[in-house]
Structure 1
Amino acid sequence: MPPKMTLNRGDLIIIDFDPQAGTEITKRRPALVISPKIYNEKGSKIICCPITSTIKLSDPWLVILPKGLKIEGAVVSDQIKSMDWKVRKAKKIGIAPDEILDEVLARIVTLVT
């Protein structure tokens, strides 16, 4: 039996964002997990932000990932999603640098306060 996967804040994953509505981000794509491990372990839900390869420098909600990671693009910090990672078949692909996670969380705080 394979070991039980646990997702932690800062993990980079691939997850299915469909179905969607309106201007919400779509398809199977990378995402940044922003919910803490203690929340993620209690069930099958996580809170995450999608990652896009379409970078608009004028978009204040995008946090561009540094080169050298397994994925390229930008975290879309204003599209916060609660998702069932088991049903959506999430796959862990890496860990974001602390400064990227901190910047995403700071932009979310700005958005919701």
Structure 2
Amino acid sequence: MCVLAWPCCSHPGLPRNAEGRGYPFEVALPDALETSGVVLADQVRCLDWRKRRAKHIEPAPSTVVGEVVGKVRALLE
């Protein structure tokens, strides 16, 4: 998973919110990243990166990726 930037969100297929609201499917991005906020793991979608003119900012840490995958898996079970 990489952190990307386009007009509406910052993860490929995973919306990002600038502020967490304590929702159970939020995954906080570490303070050390250039990108801030939370990943909304319950709002996975397929997006056309070219059409949205996405650009790579930085890779997401494996801890964040693991937590997002765990939350998505819980939704699918």
TM-score > 0.5, shorter chain as reference: yes
Select the structure with the greater relative contact order (CA < 8 A; seq sep ≥ 6).
2
Distance in structure 2 (CA, Å) of the matches to 1:64 and 1:97: 11
User: Matched residue pairs, number?
Assistant: 77
Distance in structure 1 (CA, Å) of the matches to 2:62 and 2:19: 23
Percent of paired sites with the same residue: 27
Let me know the Cα RMSD of the aligned residues. 1.1
Q: Report the structure number with the largest CA radius of gyration.
A: 1
Letter in 1 for 2:60: A
Letter in 2 for 1:13: L
SS in 2 for 1:84: coil
Distance in structure 2 (CA, Å) of the matches to 1:54 and 1:65: 10
SS in 1 for 2:14: strand
The normalised TM-score by structure 2 is 0.92
* 2:9 aligned residue (12, 29, 42): 29
Other-structure match for 1:14: 5
Distance in structure 1 (CA, Å) of the matches to 2:9 and 2:70: 23
Distance in structure 1 (CA, Å) of the matches to 2:9 and 2:76: 25
Contiguous gaps of at least 5 residues in structure 2: none
SS in 2 for 1:68: coil
Task: Please list every run of at least 4 consecutive aligned residues from structure 1 whose deviation after the TM superposition is greater than 4 angstroms.
Answer: none
Distance in structure 1 (CA, Å) of the matches to 2:44 and 2:9: 14
* Structure richer in strand, relative to its length: 1
